[in-house]
């Protein structure tokens, strides 16, 4: 088992660095996690992260196509905001599990 230690708080993550409990997430933690992916979070990033967290809480399976239809960003902007695999990277920063999506 792996843990992240953020400001003295222990946060459980899996081997790939995804949070095990999305309730342990805070916006401040997201900023630090994003920095490790060389991403500086903007309000637009947070709009996407909050949308992802809301959908995850509803139990909706996530896909790039759904993010593209979210009305927050289109697919091109999504790739630009989170380079190197947008759904994977954004989910990690949003503190939700890695989406099991093929599309």
Nearer to other proteins, 43 or 100 (CB): 100
Binding site for other proteins (CB under 8 A): 1-8, 13, 15, 17, 28-29, 32-33, 35-36, 61, 63-66, 68, 74-76, 79, 83-89, 101-103
Q: Which of 45, 36, 1, 26 is nearest to 95 (CA)?
A: 26
Look at the block and give the residue holding tokens 């993550």: 13
Smallest distance from the beta carbon of 6 to other proteins, in angstroms?
A: 5
Q: Pick the closer one to other proteins by CB: 45 or 99.
A: 99
- Cα–Cα separations (whole angstroms), residue 13 to 5, 47, 68, 73, 102: 10, 23, 27, 28, 23
Active-site pick, 1, 15, 102, 103: 102
Whose Cβ is closer to other proteins: residue 54's or residue 84's?
84
Compute the least distance from the CB of residue 19 to other proteins, in Å: 12
- Tokens for 13, please give them: 């993550």
- H-type helices in the chain, by residue range? 27-36, 43-58, 64-68, 75-81, 86-93
Catalytic (active site) residue 102? yes
Q: What residues act catalytically?
A: 102
């Amino acid at each position: 088992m792996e843990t992240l230690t953020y400001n003295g708080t222990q946060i459980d993550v899996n081997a790939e660095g995804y949070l095990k409990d999305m309730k342990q997430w805070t916006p401040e933690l997201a900023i630090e996690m994003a920095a490790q992916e060389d991403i500086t979070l903007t309000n637009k990033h947070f709009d996407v992260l909050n949308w992802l967290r809301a959908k995850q809480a509803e139990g909706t399976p996530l896909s790039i196509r759904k993010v593209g239809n979210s009305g927050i960003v289109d697919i091109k902007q999504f790739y630009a905001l989170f380079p190197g695999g947008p759904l994977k990277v954004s989910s990690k920063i949003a503190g939700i599990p890695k989406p099991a999506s093929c599309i």
